[in-house]
């Protein structure tokens, strides 16, 4: 493996595991690799750019879905549904800027969001557990709309448990 390939691989890793800011990591990687005075100033091929972009998409998918898995509640990675909403909005913005489709992640997130809400209904009805919803009711409904999923009347019970 030549030095340029190794540098691109290193930047791919940084983007893919970038925490909460995949778009910033992606843009930083492109800048470092191609234009930074202290960078290698390589010419990236289309496949290199696409690979780095896909690393950002994969990271976004991971952080959007992460906070809809109830098994993550109470762990150090859990941030709550409000963070899924925020990360999804960032993801959609990234896709628009990069002229990418958000459909695959939107579809997965929509299905998982329905499951998340159903589990929340069961928690409230079945064992009286407190909800883990940490956003307003307007934000909750808006997220459903942005994911293209219905928001049945059953879910209006969440309004009293949501943040103002």
> Cα 143 to chain center, whole Å?
13
Alpha-carbon gap, residue 137 to 152, rounded angstroms: 13
**Residues 49-103 pLDDT 10s:** 999 999 999 999 999 999 999 999 999 999 999 999 999 999 999 999 999 999 9
Task: Compute how many other C-beta atoms are within 10 angstroms of the C-beta atom of residue 107.
Answer: 13
pTM recorded for the entire structure: 0.94
Task: Compute how many other C-beta atoms are within 10 angstroms of the C-beta atom of residue 127.
Answer: 7
C-alpha triplet 98, 28, 57: angle, nearest 5°: 40
**Residues 98-157 pLDDT 10s:** 999 999 999 999 999 999 999 999 988 887 778 999 999 999 999 999 999 999 999 999
What phi and psi values does residue 84 have, to the nearest 5 degrees?
Answer: -60, -45
Domain residue spans of the chain: 2-160
- By CB atoms closer than 10 A (0-12, 13-18, 19+), residue 150 is exposed
């Amino acid at each position: 493996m030549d030095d340029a390939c190794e540098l691109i691989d290193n930047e791919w890793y940084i983007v893919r595991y970038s925490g909460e800011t995949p778009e910033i990591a992606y843009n930083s990687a492109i800048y470092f690799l191609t234009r930074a005075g202290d960078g290698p100033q390589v010419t990236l091929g289309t496949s290199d750019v696409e690979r780095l972009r896909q690393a950002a998409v994969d990271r976004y998918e991971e952080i959007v879905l992460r906070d809809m898995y109830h098994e993550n509640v109470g762990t150090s990675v859990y941030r709550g549904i409000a963070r899924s909403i925020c990360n999804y909005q960032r993801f959609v913005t990234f896709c628009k800027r990069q002229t990418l489709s958000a459909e695959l992640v939107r579809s997965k997130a929509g299905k998982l969001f329905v499951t998340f809400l159903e589990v929340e209904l069961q928690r409230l009805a079945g064992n009286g557990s407190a909800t883990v919803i940490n956003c307003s009711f307007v934000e909750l409904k808006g997220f459903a709309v942005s994911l293209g999923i219905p928001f049945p009347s059953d879910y209006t019970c969440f309004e009293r448990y949501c943040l103002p």
